[in-house]
A = this chain, B = another copy of it.
Amino acid sequence: MKPTVHDIAKIAGVSLATVDRVLNGRPGVRSVTRGKVEEAIASLGYVRDLAAANLAKSRTYSFVFILPANDNSFMIGLTEEVRGAVARSSFERTDIRIVDVPPFDPDALVAALEAVLAEKPAGVAFVAIDAPEVRAAAERLRQAGIPMVTLVSDLPDSSRDHYAGIDNIAAGRTAGSLMGRFLNGPSLGERGATVAVLAGSMLVRDHRERLEGFSTVIAQAYPNVRILPVLEGRDDPVLAETMIAEALRRNADIAGIYSLGAGNRGLIRALQAAHGPSRPLVIAHELTASTRAALADGTIDAVLNQDAGHEVRSAIRVLKAKADGLPVLAAQERIRIDIFLKDNLP
């Protein structure tokens, strides 16, 4: 049988109340007695029954998710997944509140974090913006002992406890590697190939990192592939469409396009409107209804994806663990980069 507090009391020769004081760090126990109790705990290999403890405390984990009110498919999907978690909250002893903030706005994010600080929830998850003021706000939350998880976009070297998202440098490297292989880089010869990159904004860390990984691999492994200056489409379908259309018109020799941001609808429209001699090889991010269709019909060749559902569930698991002071299963919480070709669409 699993040892209980009663067993500890018996072995240590103290009362239940004393065991309780030791276990929950309450005052009023001499260090000699505390030692005896701790010894008994160790010798029995006692582990507190979390379910029973939570029942006794009638505890619910109150979490806040701060999400940018973006209108691209990925963010909408992410919000949807958080809503799903809200719907399951009664089963999971969670009480999740969603806070919307304007996108790409560090001040708004800081304000939201400050509001959270006052509320003192059991944990916070937020899509980070890489700015010093955000880092400072995070530090204040840490001082207050509120567990924090960054979601999708990280805030490295900050006081956050965990990052629930993909390694964007690795994602960019993977895209570069696929691009080089698919273009048959090693045997391109003197002629080489030209590749365009469409990003949302170079101010966003994810995008910067993806570009960095992509450029590194291309430079190292496929030196005869040229990368055109980055097009910043602000994740706006209309802008992206005109930019890509224009780029294709100017450079008839574009052999590949890497779309590392969101808002691929414009890209797809531009590609389907273009009637070049041979369509370029396209690698994009995030599996949405439009990229899925484009993948199926051959407009896009590969899609790198992060599973928003996994990210949200992982964030919740990690926040719970942090709130309870438990370790996290690193292998379980690693968010993987999915690579989808038309042949392994789920």
Residues of B within 8 A of A177 (CB): 341-344
A52 partner, pick from B55, B170, B213, beta carbons under 8 A: B55
Query: With contacts A174-B344, A344-B173 known, is A91 near B336, CB below 8 A?
Result: no
**A window 146-190: CB within 8 A of B:** 167, 170-171, 173-174, 176-178, 181-182, 184, 187
The answer to the question of A339 belonging to the interface, with a C-beta cut-off of 8 Å to chain B, is: yes
Q: Is A343 in contact with B90, judged by CB distance below 8 angstroms?
A: no
Q: Is the CB of B187 within 8 A of A343?
A: no
Smallest CB-CB separation from A183: which chain B residue?
B184
| Cβ-defined contact, A174 with B343, below 8 A | yes
Report how many copies the assembly holds: 2
State A203–B43 Cα separation when bound (angstroms).
Answer: 51
| Cβ of A205 under 8 Å from chain B | no
- Asked if A313 is at the interface of the complex by the 8 Å CB criterion, the answer is yes
Give A307 to B331 CA distance when docked, in angstroms: 10
Q: Contact partner of A344 among B171, B181, B184, B313, CB < 8 A?
A: B171
* Residues from chain B with Cβ under 8 Å of A344 in the complex: 167, 170-171, 173-174, 177, 337
Task: Tell whether, in the assembled complex, residue A91 and residue B47 are in contact, meaning their CB atoms are under 8 Å apart.
Answer: yes
Shortest Cβ distance from residue A257 to the other chain B in the assembled complex, whole angstroms: 16
- Chain B residues within an 8 Å CB radius of A337: 344
Q: Provide the main secondary structure of the chain A interface.
A: helix
B contact residues around A339 at 8 Å (CB): 339
Q: Residue among A90, A336, A338 with the most chain B CB within 10 A?
A: A336
List, in ascending order, chain B residues with CB within 8 A of A2's CB: 90
Check if B336 sits within 8 Å of A338, measured CB to CB. Answer: yes
Residues of B within 8 A of A213 (CB): 343
**In the bound complex, how far is the Cα of B216 from the Cα of A344, in angstroms?**
13
Q: Please tell me if A229 contacts chain B, counting CB pairs below 8 Å.
A: no
Bound-complex Cα distance A342 to B220 (A): 13
Complex: how many Å from CA A213 to CA B343?
Answer: 9
A54 is contacted by which of B47, B51, B91, B93 (Cβ under 8 Å)? B51
CA distance A176 to B184 in the complex (A): 16
Q: How far is the CB of A329 from chain B (nearest CB, A)?
A: 8
Q: Which residues of B contact A307 (CB under 8 A)?
A: 336
Asked if A309 CB lies within 8 Å of chain B CBs, one says yes
Interface flag for A217 (CB, 8 Å): yes
* Chain B nearest Cβ from A320, distance in angstroms: 12
Chain A 44-58 near chain B by CB (<8 Å), digits 1 or 0? 000101111011000
CB A342 to nearest CB in B, in angstroms, measures 7
Known interface pairs A173-B343, A181-B301, A336-B346; 4 further A-B residue pairs with C-beta atoms within 8 A, sorted by A's residue number: A51-B55, A52-B55, A174-B341, A313-B332
Chain A residues close to B by CB (< 8 Å) = 2, 47, 49-52, 54-55, 90-91, 93, 167, 170-171, 173-174, 176-178, 181-182, 184, 187, 213, 217, 301, 307, 309-310, 313, 331-332, 334, 336-339, 341-344, 346
A-B contacts, 11 of them at CB < 8 A, read A51-B52, A51-B54, A51-B55, A55-B55, A170-B344, A174-B343, A176-B343, A177-B342, A313-B332, A336-B346, A337-B344
